[in-house]
Amino acid sequence: MDIKEILKHVDHTLLLQGSTWEEIKQICDDAMKYETASVCIPPCYVKQAAEYMGDRMAVCTVIGFPNGNVTTETKAFETKDALENGASEIDMVINIGWLKDKKYDLVENEIRKLKEICGDKILKVIIETCFLTDEEKIKMCEIVTNAGADYIKTSTGFGGAGATFDDIKLFAEHIGPNVKMKAAGGISSISDAETFLNLGADRLGTSRIVKIVKNEEATGY
């Protein structure tokens, strides 16, 4: 697979707690240069990044991140605020405790509410697979599909483990036809990125792919 094709599927990501504007600006510059799908950045930088890049790059941000256990109203406010500031994609974290308690209606209604707020903007649902059983992952495929979200996403990158090939295979078997998949967390090589895409993932949440390409350019490889 051509590297440019891989980069088209990358949400170029920087979500570390200490991220500065200079670091975010570099993420934006790299995303525009290498033509990634989006930048995925903390909510406090959305307005600045959207103004800096204009219509040259989609801005994605995170809601209820990384734990997912703020109230639905809080997530709703965060989503509205992000969209008003110029975000065009929203990656929300589910309430994992509700899922564990089998409060499926609450989980689904929360996703549905945020999708209503997003309208034609993209909503991705982070289910944090490292904390879930296969049964819970399959249930979330059903819930995400029923709620009308655009993507199911594996991980925050802050939960102790990231995307696995097995999780994407499992998602592919159980999501509805209108739901796409995003693999995120721990994608550290071009080979892994290619495998995730070949398994059916449409987006990859990673910063390392761009770093690898930059390093190869710098060293002549």
**Residues acting as catalytic residues:** 91, 153, 182
Three-class DSSP category at 101: coil
What is each CA distance from 72 to 34, 64, 161, 185, in whole angstroms? 36, 9, 25, 25
Contacts of 160 (CB under 8 A, 6+ apart): 130
Q: Are 211 and 18 within 8 A, CB to CB? A: no
Q: Which two tokens stand for residue 56?
A: 């040259």
Alpha carbons 104 and 143: distance in angstroms, whole number: 8
